[in-house]
A and B are shown apart, each in its own frame.
Chain A
Amino acid sequence: MINSRFFNRSELLGFLALAVLLLVILPLSLDIFRLNLVAKYLTYAFVGIGLVLCWGYGGILSLGQGVFFGLGGYCMAMYLKLEASSVANTKIQSTPGIPDFMDWNQLTSLPFFWKPFHSFPITLLAILLVPAFFALIIGAAMFKRRVGGVYFAIITQAIAAILTILIVGQQGYTGGINGITDLRTLHGWDIRTDHAKFILYFVEVVLLFGCIVAAQFIRLTKLGRILVAMREQEDRVRFSGYSVANFKIFAFCAAAVFAAIGGAMFTLEVGFMSPSFVGIVPSIEMVIYTAVGGRMSIFGAVWGALLVNFAKTSLSESFPQLWLFGLGALFIAVVLAFPNGLSGIWADHVQPRIDRLLASRKSKSAAGMIADGAPAE
């Protein structure tokens, strides 16, 4: 039900501008290598949308979204890896039919938790449900005990570190520090060709718009307003008859699912998954993208992911040492000067100017018509 009330005028313009940019301008103007980079940037936009709901609206800062991004990505990678490890492809191994890294680590049969990933539908379900379940457990353990704020952020950070160590340490089951590499086909369709990358880009953009609409839907329900209320006056929400913990768990799970979709798309776009996208640093970077874009704006999160990653690629190509300092400085500057990020700057400074310009042109043209009887344009 998309009508003028679902998106207000400026949100509708934002939606259209993004659609034109992502579906028309970028595919027409960029070569497939650059378009694939944009696709990679956009996978972080999914995480950003989740963070807008969870952090911007609900006030729950998670510094561990890489965990859910990684879980989604690994679920997808396990399916692709199993498909790439058919008996025919792996006949030189001592145990044919299992992923190569398992063979290198002297495993002789497929671990039980890998087995469901032979099935594509189960994989798709797992991409959504595994991170949601994991978030549910973390959320229930934390929020029911009223752990919040900085403590919650630190714990999510610790979980990101723990998961990274676990993945790196259990090399035979997870592919270790290298991650799961050499992925070839999705349900028999080769994902390494330029054509496949082109198609995958559009699939991702469509999914992204799906997630934007879903997040907007949540934001506009009473639940969205309760999230805002909770951020401000947790006790008042509690004493209005709501279980605050359940609402926080919901927001955290929703953010986890969005991040997982991004992670699964990342695996498809980039062709591998490794622990370097799970840990503390990527998790914090994801928060920075959202902060720069504007943590109160769903579209801002998408722009933030695009622009910061674009800057990251171009700057780290020219000044590899300086980039991390630049990112840190950017975060500090945004937090201190523009707490609502780019979308806040847009709403406070650009939008009013455009409105004024439009209004003055309208009145000028009206005046012109009266003065010399001809339209001003």
Chain B
Amino acid sequence: MLVGHQPKDFLLAVSGLTVSFDGFKAVNDLSFYVEENEIRVIIGPNGAGKTTVLDLICGKTRATSGSIQFRGQELTKLRENEIVQAGVGRKFQTPSVFEDLTVFENLEISFPRGRTVFGSLTFQRDDTVKQRVEEVAEMIFLKDRLNTYADQLSHGQKQWLEIGMLLIQDPDLLMLDEPVAGMSVSERAKTAELLNRIIKDRSVLVIEHDMKFVEDIAHKVTVLHQGQILSEGTMEHVKNDPKVIEVYLGH
């Protein structure tokens, strides 16, 4: 047993991450670290590279150089589905749910079992699955809509459903891209309540423009500008940083 100072184990360690599209560096030599159970919010003006950072972590976009370590595992070499299986969940900006399937079926597909071709052929809808689906459906306020086709849901309900689909995966790192965008005031409040409940026991990486919402949930804020970190720290620190005020908060 080691006593005293141990090197701190980060859940996610991004270092020197760069991606260039035809010479344009959307993310440029970016490094940041997320701890276990930390809620990190990424803010920044349009085109700062926020969504690209999430795309890089979840494997949707391939990095030009740099490394992304998740629990010591190098994510840049894994395929999307392997990254999910490693414990990273991603919610997209526009709700992406399966509209031709019911709420139950949407959640069931995300249940982490039978993810291979033959696993899914022999998958049984047993009590564990049903219980877990109902549990999550209750959390996302859709308990009485389990048999509704997802195309019948409102925009806000689709967003919740997608959050539910991530919850049922039980990821260690949850990445949310503008989870309250386009929501009504009451939906927004409910979502904040939902997020506050689900962020326990896991780390969360959120992109959000709603500063009130950010202040409510963030442990730490990273401000991106032109693919680089402009400022990082607590909300208080970032809000008073003159550079941040100039490019982002000042308007």
Contact = CB atoms under 8 A, between A and B. Distances in A.
Q: Do A and B interact with each other, yes or no?
A: yes
Contact of A240 (B100, B101, B121, B165): B165
B101 A228 contact: yes
A226 B120 contact: yes
A238 B97 contact: no
A226 B109 contact: yes
Most buried by A among B105, B112, B120: B120
Contacts of A218: 121
Given A223-B117, A228-B101, A240 B109 contact: yes
Interface in B67-100: 79-81, 84-85, 89-90, 92, 96-100
Contacts of A233: 96-98
A222 B81 contact: no
Interface residues of B, number: 32
B59 to A, nearest CB: 9
A237 interface: yes
A246 B114 CA distance: 13
A356 interface: no
A242 interface: yes
Contacts of A247: 117, 120
A167 to B, nearest CB: 32
B226 to A, nearest CB: 27
A225 interface: yes
Nearest to A217: B121
B84 A246 contact: no
A247 to B, nearest CB: 6
A250 interface: yes
Nearest to A236: B96
Interface in A196-252: 218, 221-223, 225-226, 228-229, 231-233, 235-244, 246-247, 250
Contact of B116 (A237, A244, A246): A246
Given A232-B98, A241-B85, A222 B90 contact: no
Interface in B189-224: none
A238 B80 contact: yes
Contact of A250 (B85, B100, B108, B117): B117
Contacts of A242: 81, 115, 120
Contact of A241 (B99, B112, B122): B112
A223 B117 CA distance: 7
B84 A239 contact: yes
Interface string A287-302: 0000000000000000
B120 A235 contact: no
Interface string A111-144: 0000000000000000000000000000000000
A235 B98 CA distance: 11
B81 A221 contact: no
B53 interface: no
Contact of B109 (A222, A231, A235, A243): A222
Contacts of B132: none
A239 B101 contact: no
A244 B105 CA distance: 18
A218 B89 CA distance: 28
A241 B115 contact: yes
A159 to B, nearest CB: 23
B60 interface: yes
B81 A243 contact: yes
Interface in A241-269: 241-244, 246-247, 250
A239 B117 contact: no
Nearest to B112: A241
Contacts of B165: 236, 240
15 contacts: A221-B123, A222-B120, A222-B123, A223-B117, A225-B101, A225-B109, A226-B109, A232-B98, A236-B96, A236-B165, A240-B84, A240-B110, A242-B81, A246-B116, A250-B117
Given A239-B84, A240-B109, 4 more contacts: A221-B120, A222-B108, A222-B121, A240-B169
